[in-house]
Structure formats: C-alpha cells, structure tokens
Structure 1
C-alpha cells in the first residue's frame, strides 16, 4: 500500500470512524460524525470527498470504504513528524520525550522490546 498524502486532523477523525465501521453507508457515516464529532452533514461530505480525492476513501453507491489502513497512515504520520520536527533523527525524537519525562517504565520496556525484535529481524 502506498503512503497516503498529508492528512488534516479532520481527515484523521473521519478515517477513524470509517475504520471502526466500514463498510458504512455515507448517510450512516454522517449520523456517526454528527454524534461523535458534532459535524454537520455538509462537513462530513466535504471531508469524504477530500479523502476520496486524496485516494484514502472510496464512496461507491453511497457506501464508504477505506483505501488505506490505519497502520499505513500512522507510519506516514510518524515519518512526517520525524522529518518536519526532528530533521529525520529518531534519537532526537525519543530524546524530546525522555527530557519531558513523558515515557513510563512500561512504555520504556515496550520500546526496548521493539528494538530487540528489530535487531533480531535485521
């Protein structure tokens, strides 16, 4: 699956609804967006169209499905933040969180485990 284009917060919020409910009819998605996001129908249809234009959603016969999965979007978002804010440096990214004290002992252990699994697979 190719990397998705840059997505807005609204794009992300609607994609989350689609991923948790797909396939979903566009009228039902509008009701869900109204209930969970407080959006008007026109807002939802605008974001659906934008995501279709970006190649992230398909809206055929009033049924909305995703063309990108959550993991792909998360990976692209992570790379974008890493490049934009840390000049591509993962150590600088992690150092920022460690300096802020925002990593729990459990999260640190999970990160260590991920790094160990990465080392063993590469």
Structure 2
C-alpha cells in the first residue's frame, strides 16, 4: 500500500447488471432486501445491506450509457451471492417460496458435509444465490 494514503479503501457495494429491473427487484425483495418504492421502473437502484454495504442493481442500458461496448457474459451467471438464514428450516422454506414463484432452483436444500443446510437458486439473470444456515 502507498505510504501517502491515509487509510485503506473501504468495500462499499456489490453491483449486479440486470436485464429486467422489475424482476430483479422482486426477487431480492423476496429475500428481505428493502428497495425504495418505485424501484422496479428505475435504471439504477440500491438496497442497504447489514453493516452498511449496498446491493446495487443497474439495468443493462444504464451500463451501456457509459460503457457502450459492454456485453453480458455468455451463459448467464454474472455474480454469486449468499444469504444466511435463521436455521435449516428457513433454507428449505425460502427455497420453496422462490422456486414456487418461478425462479430456477439450481441445488435443492441438502445437509452439506461442511455443517450447513445449503441450497442455490438463480436470480432472473442467472446469478447463483446461495441460501445457508448452520446445522444443529
């Protein structure tokens, strides 16, 4: 690190480029994130996460407004996120809610060898979203 820098940079947000803002806002609201009213129709939205970090969603056209040659990665899956649940039962219930709402269930809930109840669903853009909780 440069000795002239008075402090280290602070991690500020997780950013996702989304193809359908309304679908993405709806998905992450089902996971408990609070986006402002009317976010579904905005080109850029933010939800505060615990600890002050933000989840930032930008529509593809917003990104192309400042990076005209930007292209979505082939095959989907632009990032991976994880949500810690209150317990194994919440992993199972949340997985069922999301799959029941039409989202792709990648990995059904299972008891992982590392000591967690674990499942993966995909958000509307194919990003893996893990649901996890300690076993026992």
Range of TM-score over shorter length:
under 0.3
Bigger radius of gyration among the two: 1
In terms of fraction of residues, the more helix-rich structure is: 1
TM-score of the pair, normalised by structure 2: 0.23
In terms of fraction of residues, the more strand-rich structure is: 2
